[in-house]
Structure 1
Amino acid sequence: MSDYSHASGPGFRARPAAELTDVDLRPDLYDGVVTKRIGAFVVDVVLISVLVLLGYLATFVMGFLTLGLAWLAFGLVFPAIALGYHMVSIGGPWSATPGMRLMGLEMFETTGGRATWIVGLAHPLIFWISGTLTAFLVVFIALFDARGRTLQDMLTGVVVVNRLPG
């Protein structure tokens, strides 16, 4: 397999895997990533919360129109919206959630390719499950990892880096 992945997305330029994973080769890719990820997380939580509230409102209204049948879906609103948000944004052409884009971050597979929608699905699921089981102590791994990787990054084979021009 080549060090370069296939091109995709607006202005996508394939990156060699070594460029993305070697901190000594490109320290600028990882400068401030952990702090930016925290900011991106806050932005994404706010955006997902707004979408979930709109989803609950729509489900509530639909419940009246369906004589209460739609109210059975209340428990599915949050997971469907949150997972959909991550799948579409991480698996999309920018390989980043809106919060990550705002903070100047993007996600790549360690092979150099863009993250896929499968990563967009697995990444938040691993975060929620491992975070629930460990009271979110798993995110502290990023403080001790040279690349600022969390457990879910390691398990899905991705790195989050500063966006490079071009």
Structure 2
Amino acid sequence: MRTWKNRQKGVTQVEFTLIALAVLLVIFSIIEFALYFYSIQMANEVTRRAARLATVCYIADRDDIATLSSVEGIYPPGFSSDDLSISYLDENGDKVDVRAFVPVTAGPEVLNPIFATIRFVKAEADYTFQFMMLSLLINAVGASPEFQTILPAESLGVLRPEDGLGSIEDC
């Protein structure tokens, strides 16, 4: 019996180490996946807020929307303002070229026809989640869905008279 006891010395330490390693791996995996799902939801919320702001802000201010505190304050880890893009769509869903709005050098005769074709605003986010702990073990990168929000264009920052579309000069 005594030789059997001597051979068993340290077995509990090895067993504890193996079990503790497995439990810690499960706990950190749960935390990582919770952060992943949180980040995915925040990237989706960023596009929703940016699209909402773009529907009511002037077109020339579209590049500033990504840096507003109400949008920038909810960026998930690894997200930057370069990952967010805002575009304006016509009634068919095709992009409208709004480069004439920044800087505003064009007159109303150029801007009004462009403004009249805009029916929707689209905000898109290009985001890929990078796992921290799992990437050390298996170089894991979280696949992200396509984040985009499309909303109908509202005022686009221009007050419109009751009788029609209005003009850029009415701002």
**TM-score, normalized by the shorter chain, greater than 0.5:** no
The structure in which a higher percent of residues are helix is 1
With the length of structure 1 as denominator, give the TM-score of the two structures: 0.32
Larger radius of gyration: 2
**Higher percent of residues as strand:** 2
Which protein, 1 or 2, shows the higher relative CO under an 8 Å CA cutoff with sep ≥ 6? 1
